[in-house]
């Protein structure tokens, strides 16, 4: 039978070589993440930066990967005692929790997307911002925006009231003004105002009190407003309340938000900073968040593949010494992934 090249070397040499390769891999990964986290910190300077609350799923995944690391340690101990059967069982449990880590990570990403923190998005709403051109009344009372939320009579729109509001706005999601001519707009107690003037809908056209019709540009603004309403956006692309669900910083200093006005160091944001925010209205911080965590998840996927190979080997290898060659190096890499995630979590928790 043809022998493997590795079989030509003593077990001690194979173990030492495997470990050296793993440490080289670990060093390269550390350098990569050090580069990304350093770039993250540098990019925060002299720019606007969104900090979102970390989803609970990311903390759950931390506990999951710690538990998996513990069982990986038990697998190594069992292998040292020539108990291949027990080592195999510990590896299977490690694999189970490793997959659980990946699942919990994706649950965290789902929560982030639901909160409006997308990989590519903006910071503030500039097109179709409620109140710039359009306002809406319900039963004669103005809907208002407070802290990135829509309010009616001092109460935040929720439940059925929010659903009715969305249904009203959804009627304006049509391609252009011509497409409105075949629609039957239902107001159901709502009044649409353009520049504080109530609009009427006659023969498929919006008419102002002076008889003027909305032009294409006006309708595009209405379309953008409707899109923002349905997506639960008011002043920011990230959903929720500023200061509670997310924070906005400039040059590492947190901004306040009073009466729909951004405040920097106790003063309204200057015109220069307002223009700077509009020009650079990209949420770079969330993009970094996704890149850093997804890169780690990819390495965990590589670790899961390694675990699958180790489990398979535990069924085919009868010599515990040969199994330990792979098991020891695999354990080093898996423990490293756990420690790396803890570092990244602390980094994102206190920096992001």
Beta strands in the chain (DSSP E): 48-52, 134-138, 141-146, 149-152, 155-156, 190-194, 197-198, 200-202, 205-207, 246-250, 253-254, 256-258, 261-264, 267-268
Whether residues 171 and 206 share a domain: the answer is yes
- Residue 240 within a domain: no
- Residue 266 within a domain: no
Cα(156)–Cα(49) distance, integer angstroms: 27
DSSP state letters, 76-104: HHHHHTT-HHHHHHHHHHHHHHHHHHHHH
Whether residues 107 and 51 share a domain: the answer is yes
CATH of the domain at 299: 1.20.120.80
Summarize the confidence of residues 198-219 as an average pLDDT: 89
- Residue 245 within a domain: no
- Residue 338 within a domain: yes
In the chain, how many domains are there? 2
Residue 56: which H helix or E strand, with range? helix 56-80
- Residue 127 within a domain: no
What pLDDT, in 10s, does the model give residues 102-154? 999 999 999 999 999 898 889 999 999 999 999 999 999 999 999 899 999 99
Residue 326, both tokens: 């792979």
Whether residues 186 and 216 share a domain: the answer is yes
pLDDT above 50 (res 1) = no
Residue numbers of the domain that contains 229: 134-235
Whether residues 69 and 148 share a domain: the answer is no
- Residue 268 within a domain: no
Cα(148)–Cα(234) distance, integer angstroms: 5
Whether residues 11 and 92 share a domain: the answer is yes
- Residue 314 within a domain: yes
Cα(91)–Cα(80) distance, integer angstroms: 14
pLDDT above 80 (res 177) = no
Backbone angles phi, psi at 121, to 5 degrees: -160, 180
pTM for this structure? 0.83
Whether residues 103 and 156 share a domain: the answer is no
pLDDT score for 5 = 42
Whether residues 153 and 109 share a domain: the answer is no
- Residue 36 within a domain: yes
């Amino acid at each position: 039978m043809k022998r493997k090249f590795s079989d030509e070397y003593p077990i001690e040499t194979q173990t030492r070589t495997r470990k050296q390769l793993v440490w080289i891999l670990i060093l390269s990964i550390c350098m990569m993440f050090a580069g990304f986290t350093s770039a993250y910190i540098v990019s925060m300077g002299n720019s606007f930066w969104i900090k979102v609350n970390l989803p609970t799923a990311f903390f759950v995944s931390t506990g999951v990967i710690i538990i998996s690391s513990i069982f990986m340690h038990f697998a190594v101990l069992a292998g040292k005692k020539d108990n291949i059967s027990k080592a195999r069982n510990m590896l299977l449990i490690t694999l189970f929790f490793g997959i659980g880590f990946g699942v919990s990570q994706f649950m965290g990403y789902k929560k982030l997307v639901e909160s409006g923190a997308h990989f590519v998005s903006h910071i503030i709403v500039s097109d179709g911002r409620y109140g710039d051109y359009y306002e809406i009344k319900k039963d004669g009372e103005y809907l208002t925006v407070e802290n990135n939320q829509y309010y009616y009579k001092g109460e935040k729109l929720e439940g059925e009231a929010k659903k009715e509001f969305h249904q009203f706005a959804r009627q304006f999601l049509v391609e252009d003004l011509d497409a409105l001519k075949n629609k039957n707009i239902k107001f159901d107690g709502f009044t649409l105002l353009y520049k504080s003037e109530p609009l009427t809908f006659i023969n498929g056209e919006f008419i102002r009190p002076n008889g003027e019709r909305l032009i294409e540009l006006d309708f595009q603004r209405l379309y953008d407003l409707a899109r923002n309403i349905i997506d639960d956006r008011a002043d920011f692309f990230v959903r929720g309340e500023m200061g509670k669900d997310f924070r906005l910083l400039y040059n590492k200093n947190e901004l306040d938000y009073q009466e729909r006005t951004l405040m920097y160091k106790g003063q309204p944001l200057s015109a220069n900073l307002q223009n700077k925010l509009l020009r650079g209205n990209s949420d770079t911080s969330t993009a970094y968040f996704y890149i850093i965590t997804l890169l780690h998840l990819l390495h965990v996927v590589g670790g899961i593949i390694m675990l699958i190979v180790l489990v398979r080997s535990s069924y085919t290898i009868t010599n515990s010494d040969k199994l330990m060659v792979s098991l020891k190096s695999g354990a080093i890499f898996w423990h490293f992934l756990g420690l790396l995630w803890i570092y990244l979590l602390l980094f994102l928790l206190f920096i992001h």
